[in-house]
Amino acid sequence: MLGKKLVTAQKRGETRALCLGLGMVACSMMMYFFIGITIVPFYTNSVWTTETVCKVLKANIKDKVFCPKSEGSEDEEIFPYPCLQVWVNLTASGQEVMLYQTEDTLEKNPKCSYVPDKLENSKEVKARIETIASNFKKYQTFPCYYDPGGTQTNVILSRLYPSKGLLFAFLWPTLMFTGGCLIIVLVKISQYVSVLSAWQ
């Protein structure tokens, strides 16, 4: 009687462990799919792939401009902010080009190098942009990214999804997938050993 209870408890434990492993594998596959349709397209579509050195030529703050309304947004989401324009000398080609913060900045407003997030206090936005401009004037040389194919003549300061970021995004689902597969393999080995012991 006690042996039957132990066998029943063992089978229940194996079933739960197997469900856990299958659940981890299923969740990791969903995470792979989510990353594949969100982050990977941004990474592959970015043409600013080559790193070089940029030297600041001028960093000017123009008059206030309005943040362009994105598709599907409300009118109150449009807000004015000082337009920072940073021109740099591209070391790779020696050209004078405009610098943008990321790929997204160029899409939001191609006239400005930096597009701030919406803030209630316009003084905070102005102070932040002035700080960024002073930092560019202080640190004249810094790494940047340009398009080696020549499709885009401008450069960006940092990529939204660099190679290290993409690898880090795939790290967690990979660990979860590996752990789930390991649990399933261990359960199958345990079941095989149990059947082999009973047969002997």
DSSP readout, 106-125?
HHH-TT-S--PPP-S-HHHH
Model pTM above 0.85: no
Q: Which two tokens stand for residue 35?
A: 């990353």
Output DSSP code: residue 167: H
User: Are the C-beta atoms of 151 and 6 separated by less than 8 Å?
Assistant: no
Going by C-alpha positions, the residue among 168, 159, 169 that lies closest to residue 46 is 159
- Of the CA atoms within 13 Å of residue 34, those in its CB half-sphere come to 10
Residue 72 has a pLDDT of 45
The tens digit of pLDDT for each residue in 124-173 reads 888 888 899 888 888 889 999 988 887 888 899 988 888 788 888 899 99
What does the domain layout of the chain look like in residue ranges? 50-161, 162-199
**Average pLDDT of 80-104?**
86
What's the CA gap between 142 and 59, in Å, rounded? 14
Residue tagged 């947004």 (tokens): 73
pLDDT surpasses 70 at 119: no
